[in-house]
Structure 1
Amino acid sequence: MSPFMSGMLSMLHAALSPFLASTLTLVCFVSPCAALDLNWKEIFPIRKHDFGIVAVAAKTEFSFPIENTSDRPIHIRTVRASCGCTTPTVDSNTIAPGQTSYLHARFNTDTFKGKRGANLTVVIDRPIYTEVRLRVDGFIRSDLVFHPGAVEFKRTSSGSPVTQTVKVFYAGRKNWHINKIESPQSWLVADIKELSRRRGRINYEVTVTIDNAAPTGFFQDELVLFTDDSGMPRVPLRVTGEITAPLTISPGIISLGTVRAGTPTSKKIVVLGQRPFVIESLTAEGWKVDVSLSSEAKKTHILRPSFDIAGTSKGAFKSTLIITTAGENSSRATALVTADVASD
C-alpha cells in the first residue's frame, strides 16, 4: 500500500473512532444490558404441563403464572398456539412490577381426540422484545364422556354443605369398570355408583360434596377416576369453585393511627353477610369499644365504633376485633385493629 493511501486510512480511522465507540456502547445498553435484570426463568416459573388422559368434553385447563419480578412493566403483545387443540388466553397483557398474571391454556377436548400437544409462544414487546415458549400435552379419550365436563360449584357459602353430580358415559368393553375415585382434599368428598350396563354402553354417576370443613377462597382441584384399563387407568375430573365466608368485615385491617388513653377514636366499618343477620356483640381485646348495634336483621350493617385503649400498652399495639351474630346459626368474623399508643 502506498504511503499516501496509508496516510488517508489513518486519518479516516482517527475521525471515525469516537463514533464507532459510541455506537458499540449504545448497542450494549439497548440489547444485552437491558435484559440483565430480567430473569425469564423466574418470570415464567412453569414452562410445561401434561394434562394426562382426559375424557371427551371434559373441561381441561391449566394456568401458567407470569410473575413480574423486575422493576419495569412487562407487556405481552400476543400468544401464538401451534395447534388448534389448545386455546390460550391471558388475564392481563400488561403486568406491573411485583404483580402476577396468568396464561390460561384450555385443552379443546370437545373437538379433538387422541394424543395432542401445542407450543404456546408468548411474544413480549416491553421492556424488551423476547419470545417465551410454553408447552402443553395430553391424550383425549374417545370412548369416555363427562356430562357436564367439570364440577363447578361457583360461589358456595362456608359451613353449608353442597353437592353436585356428573354423569360418566362409556362405550367400549362390556366388562369395563371404574374401580374407585380419589379426592385430593379431605373436605371434597367424592363417591361413584354404576347406573346402567348394556351392550358395551356403561353409565356411572359421580357425586361430589363440599363439607363443613372447607376453607374459604377459590379452589381448583382434580378428582381421579381409576378404571380397569391397563394402559390408561387414571382419568381426571376437574373441580372448581369459590367458598365464601358467611360474614365479612371491611376493612380487614382497622388502623387507628396514634391514640391516647381517655381519647376515643372512631372508625367506620362495614359488616356484610350472605343473609340478613343481627349483630350480638363487637369486642376487641385491649380496647373499650362503644358501638350502637341495630336489632334489625339485614345483610349490611354500617357501624362507627369508638375505640379507647383499656390497658397500659405503649407504642405499636395490635389486637383482633371479633363480631358475633345472634341466633341459632351464629357466626363470627374478625378484623385486625392496629394503633400507636402514645405516652402521656
Structure 2
Amino acid sequence: MLRRSAQAGAKRSPRHNAPGGSAGGSGAGCWKSQKARRSQPRRWVSLAISLDAERANDALSGTDTVAFCRAQLPMFLLTPTMPEGMIMRVKAKLAATIFFALTAVVVQVAADHDDLVATTQHDFGSVPWGSLLVHRFAWKNPTRQPLEIAEIHCSSGVRVRAVPPVLEPGESGYIEVELDTRQFVGEKVAAVQLRIRPGRRSVVLQVHARCRPEVLISPGMLRFTGLEVGQSAERSVELEYSGPHDWQILRVENPYPYLTTQLQCLCRQAGEIRYRLTVRVSESAPAGDWLVALALATNDPQLPVIPVLVEGQICPAIEARPATLRLSENSGAAGQQRVVLRSQRPFRILAVAETPPGVTVESASDRQQPVHIVLVRCSLQSQTSAAGVIRLATDCPQQPLVEIPVTVGSLRPSR
C-alpha cells in the first residue's frame, strides 16, 4: 500500500512538487506555490459577444447595453507557454459557448412573453435621411394585476413611450418606438429592452431601417395635434434629392378618405430636385390618437416607395374618463364604477341608448353643463367575460352619441 502511494506521488506533475525537492517534500512546496500564485494580481480577458456584427465596436466599448453580453475570464486559463493557435481555439470555443447560451436565453425570454407582445421586430425598409420613423407594438395584459414599464434601455436616437402608461387587467395598448434617422447614415438596428412591473418580466423590441443620405425630408413626419372633432388643419413636408439621376415622385398613394394631398415640384435642376407635399385633415377625421402612412412612389429602384407618417391627436367633443370599463365582483362596492364626461361646452345627456346585459347606468344630472358624472352598476355574476358598449345620447352636435366600451365578468386567472 505504501509502495503504491509512493509510485503515485512520483508520477505527479513536476509543478506539484517543490523546486529541487523530492516526492516526500512536495506538500510544502505545493502550498508555497499556491500561496505565491494567490498573491499575484489576476489579469482578466474580456470577450464581447454581439448579436449584430456591425455593432461589435459599441459592444467592445461598453456603450451598447442591449445587444451584447460581456464575459470576463481569468487570464491564468491562457498560460504564457500555450501556443498562439491553441489560445485562439480556446477563445473561439469560449465565445461560441457564451453565444449559444445568450441565444438560448433570448429565445426563452421571447417564448415566455409572447402573451404580452404579439410581435417584437419591425423593418422600416429604405427611408430618406431626416425621417422620424414610428412603429407601435401592440401589447396586452392577460394577468390579474396592472402592468407598467418600470425601466427602459434603448439605443441612441430612439424614443419609447407606452400608451396607456398603466395597463389594467384585460386591457390592450401599444408601445411606441420612434427612430430618428438624423442620428445615422446607412443601416441601423436599434434594440429596446423593457422591464415590466410587477415581477421580473423583460421584453426586447427591435427596429431596423436603411437611411438613404441623397434623399432628405423635412420635417420628419406630419403631426396634427390639439385638434377637436370637426376641425380641419393643413401641414406640409418637403423632400430634396441631391443625386445624379433624374429623380421623380410619380404619385401619392393615399387610402384614407379624411386626408387630402397635393404634390408640387418646387425645383428641378442638376444636383437639386425638390418637392413639397401638402396634407389636409378634413372635418370627418376620427377622434383619438391615430398613426397612418402615406406612400410616395418614385422612379428610383433603390428607393421605390417613400413612407410619410401622419400622426393625429384629435380630442373628442365629449371625453369619457375612464375611457373603458371592466366590471366584475372585484370592481368596487356592488360592482359599480363612476365615469366622468367632460366637454369644453355645456351639453345634456338625453337618454341611455344601449347597455350590455346586467349593466345599469344612472346620470347624476339632466341639466346642460360641461361635466357630467355617470354611475355604472353591474348586477351580473358570471365566471366568463363578455364585452359590450354603453351608448349615451347627448345634445352635442359634434358628438351626439358617446360610446364607452365595457367588459363584464370575472378576470382571467394570472399566469
Asked whether the two chains share a fold, i.e. TM above 0.5, the reply is yes
In the TM superposition, 1:81-120 aligns within 5 A as 81=155, 84=156, 86-91=157-162, 97-99=169-171, 102-120=174-192
Q: Secondary structure at the match of 1:213?
A: coil
Question: Residues 321 and 195 from structure 1, CA distance in 2 versus in 1: closer, same or farther, beyond 3 angstroms?
Answer: same
TM-score where L is the length of structure 1 = 0.61
Q: Which residue of 1 aligns with 2:87?
A: none
Q: Secondary structure at the match of 2:142?
A: coil
Give the Cα–Cα distance (whole angstroms) in 2 for the partners of residues 303 and 126 of structure 1: 32
Give the Cα–Cα distance (whole angstroms) in 1 for the partners of residues 124 and 367 of structure 2: 53
1:242 aligns with 2:310: no
Question: Identical aligned pairs, as a percentage?
Answer: 21
Would the aligned equivalents of 2:152 and 2:192 in 1 still touch at CA under 8 Å? no
Would the aligned equivalents of 2:229 and 2:398 in 1 still touch at CA under 8 Å? no
Would the aligned equivalents of 1:52 and 1:139 in 2 still touch at CA under 8 Å? yes
Would the aligned equivalents of 1:293 and 1:303 in 2 still touch at CA under 8 Å? no
Would the aligned equivalents of 2:316 and 2:399 in 1 still touch at CA under 8 Å? no
Would the aligned equivalents of 2:127 and 2:211 in 1 still touch at CA under 8 Å? yes
Q: Which amino acid aligns with 1:64?
A: F
Question: Residues 219 and 93 from structure 1, CA distance in 2 versus in 1: closer, same or farther, beyond 3 angstroms?
Answer: closer
Q: Which residue of 2 aligns with 1:41?
A: 114
Q: Which amino acid aligns with 1:133?
A: V
Once structures 1 and 2 are overlaid, which stretch shifts more, 55-64 or 68-77?
68-77
Would the aligned equivalents of 2:133 and 2:309 in 1 still touch at CA under 8 Å? yes
Q: Which residue of 2 aligns with 1:332?
A: 400
Give the Cα–Cα distance (whole angstroms) in 2 for the partners of residues 270 and 133 of structure 1: 37
Q: Secondary structure at the match of 1:42?
A: coil
1:209 aligns with 2:280: yes
The structure with the greater share of residues assigned to strand is: 1
1:283-338 Cα shifts (integer Å, max 9, x gaps): 5679xx9x8756xxx8x36699xxxxxxxxxxxxx99542225xxx77634468xx
Gaps spanning 5+ residues in structure 1: where? 1-34, 254-267, 305-317, 337-344
Q: Which amino acid aligns with 2:129?
A: V
Once structures 1 and 2 are overlaid, which stretch shifts more, 240-249 or 148-157?
240-249
Q: Which residue of 1 aligns with 2:304?
A: 233
Give the Cα–Cα distance (whole angstroms) in 2 for the partners of residues 175 and 202 of structure 1: 8
Question: Residues 226 and 243 from structure 1, CA distance in 2 versus in 1: closer, same or farther, beyond 3 angstroms?
Answer: same
Would the aligned equivalents of 1:76 and 1:93 in 2 still touch at CA under 8 Å? no
Give the Cα–Cα distance (whole angstroms) in 1 for the partners of residues 160 and 398 of structure 2: 42
Deviation at 1:179, TM superposition (A): 0.4
The structure with the greater share of residues assigned to helix is: 2
Q: Secondary structure at the match of 2:211?
A: strand
In the TM superposition, 1:136-151 aligns within 5 A as 136-151=207-222
Q: Secondary structure at the match of 1:144?
A: strand
Give the Cα–Cα distance (whole angstroms) in 2 for the partners of residues 124 and 164 of structure 1: 37
Would the aligned equivalents of 1:165 and 1:208 in 2 still touch at CA under 8 Å? yes
Question: Residues 160 and 172 from structure 1, CA distance in 2 versus in 1: closer, same or farther, beyond 3 angstroms?
Answer: same
Task: Considering Cα pairs closer than 8 Å and 6+ residues apart, tell me whether 1 or 2 has the greater RCO.
Answer: 1
Deviation at 1:173, TM superposition (A): 3.2
Q: Secondary structure at the match of 1:110?
A: helix
Q: Which residue of 1 aligns with 2:413?
A: none
TM-score where L is the length of structure 2 = 0.52
Deviation at 1:119, TM superposition (A): 3.4
In the TM superposition, 1:64-83 aligns within 5 A as 64-71=137-144, 76-81=150-155
Q: Which amino acid aligns with 1:167?
A: E
Give the Cα–Cα distance (whole angstroms) in 1 for the partners of residues 141 and 204 of structure 2: 17
Deviation at 1:70, TM superposition (A): 3.2
Question: Residues 126 and 243 from structure 1, CA distance in 2 versus in 1: closer, same or farther, beyond 3 angstroms?
Answer: closer
Q: Work out which of the residue numbers 116, 119, 133 in structure 2 matches 1:60.
A: 133
Give the Cα–Cα distance (whole angstroms) in 2 for the partners of residues 49 and 183 of structure 1: 22
Q: Which residue of 2 aligns with 1:197?
A: 268
Q: Which residue of 2 aligns with 1:314?
A: none
Once structures 1 and 2 are overlaid, which stretch shifts more, 169-178 or 202-211?
169-178
Give the Cα–Cα distance (whole angstroms) in 2 for the partners of residues 333 and 273 of structure 1: 13
Deviation at 1:48, TM superposition (A): 0.8
1:157-214 Cα shifts (integer Å, max 9, x gaps): 2223322111222212352110011124222222211112122211111111122332
Q: Which amino acid aligns with 2:187?
A: K
Give the Cα–Cα distance (whole angstroms) in 2 for the partners of residues 78 and 145 of structure 1: 30
Deviation at 1:66, TM superposition (A): 3.8
